[in-house]
Structure 1
Amino acid sequence: MKKDIHPKTFKAKIRCHCGYEAELLTTKGESLEVEICSNCHPFYTGKQRFVDTAGRIDRFRKKYAAFGKKEA
């Protein structure tokens, strides 16, 4: 291995806003704060919900509903 080409690694303490803490090896620094982690992310907790802002899902379905029917 070549010398002096690899970044310095730190044993960092990662803190989430939900209160979860973990120690990891990283090149970012000795302390990191994150907004969301696997303990509070809706996908991992099973509390996932879809937010339909201004009916975008309905507009998308309406726009492309005829697309699949033309092929038949």
Structure 2
Amino acid sequence: MQKEIHPQDYRLVAFKDMSNEEVFITKSTANSKETIDVDGTEYPLIKLEISRTSHPFYTGQTKLIDTAGRIDKFKNKYKKFKK
């Protein structure tokens, strides 16, 4: 293993899943300008769109997200082929 290529400034960081507001704390070197107070202690905050608490693979639940009506466009386009 090469020496002196790995970061040395590991610290506790709060990661917040924005889809379900779940917060978990782990060691990281990620930088952040935002902070969050968890149980009276202030941690740097990293916001996530999806994490283990909201990802369908881990939760076993599927979530349908209709972005810009894509599903409706698809259904309308192929409606004539439906029997």
Structure 2: gaps of 5 or more residues: 32-43, 64-70, 75-83
The 5 Å alignment of 1:6-17 reads 6-7=6-7, 8-17=9-18
C-alpha distance after superposition, 1:29-67 (max 9, x if no partner): 322110001111111111237xxx86xxxxxxxxxxxxx
Q: Matched residue of 1:43: which SS? A: helix
Q: Which residue of 2 aligns with 1:23?
A: 25
The 5 Å alignment of 1:44-55 reads 44-48=58-62
User: Greater Rg, structure 1 or structure 2?
Assistant: 1
Q: CA deviation at 1:21?
A: 0.3
Percent identity between matched residues is: 27
Post-superposition, which runs of at least 4 consecutive aligned residues in structure 1 deviate over 2 A? none
Structure 1: gaps of 5 or more residues: 55-72
More helix by share: 1
1:33 aligns with 2:35: no
Aligned residue pairs total 53
Q: Matched residue of 1:28: which SS? A: coil
Instruction: Please provide the CA RMSD for this pair.
Output: 2.6
